[in-house]
Amino acid sequence: MSPGDRVRVHRILGGDAFRFLLAIPEIETPEKKTGVARSVIPRQISLRDHVISSSNLAKLIYRITTNNPAVAGEGMVDQIVENARASAGLIPLYREIGKKALELGAYGVCVSGAGPSILMLANEDLHDKIGKEIQVIYSSRGIKAKIISTRPAEGAKNIA
């Protein structure tokens, strides 16, 4: 997108069954963090990566509208942007935390915004267990982190 391009927003219904954990590492972020995060994204991608990413987005949108968090987690996989940002060191411990969350039963993991926060979709009854394990990972590397159990806000859950 270029500055001045219009974005059209459409409401989609669903998401009532979605519960999230948000891991917010207390680290120093670069000035103009979003610009830095965008600068590491590849300018060209393979057709294969495009097809996979498009398929994942379709799964995510469909499963939000059908209130199916288990399958929506598959749609949270972004192998283009998140891999680039994680490889650039902008999201500390992203792969390790994502792997552990999925092992413990999370449906999906993704970067929240430009990072470094990590968003995990999981049943609410797993939040304490996953949150504690993630705290251990961050602590073992000397990083303080806040773990928040949350759900879509009433006004936000129906907006695409």
Report the pLDDT value the prediction gives residue 155, as an integer from 0 to 100: 59
Q: Does this model's pTM top 0.85? A: no
Is residue 38 situated within a structural domain? no
Domain containing 119 — which CATH number? 3.30.70.890
The whole domain housing 129 covers 20-32+47-150
SS3 category, 154:
coil
**pLDDT tens-digit readout, 3-51:** 777 877 766 666 667 788 999 998 887 788 778 778 878 889 889 988 9
Cα 56 from Cα 80, distance rounded (Å): 12
Q: How big is the chain, counted in residues?
A: 160
Report the pLDDT value the prediction gives residue 112, as an integer from 0 to 100: 81
> How many domains in the chain?
1
Is residue 15 situated within a structural domain? no
The CA–CA distances, whole Å, from 46 to 57, 71, 76, 83, 146 equal 17, 25, 19, 14, 36
Is residue 7 situated within a structural domain? no
| Residue written as token pair 């470094």 | 116
pLDDT at 140 over 60: yes
Do the beta carbons of residue 23 and residue 120 sit within 8 Å? yes
Q: Is 29 left (phi over 0), alpha (psi -120 to 50) or beta?
A: beta
SS3 category, 159:
strand
**pLDDT tens-digit readout, 105-135:** 999 998 887 778 899 999 899 999 999 999 9
For 44, phi then psi, to 5°, come to: -135, 145
Is residue 91 situated within a structural domain? yes
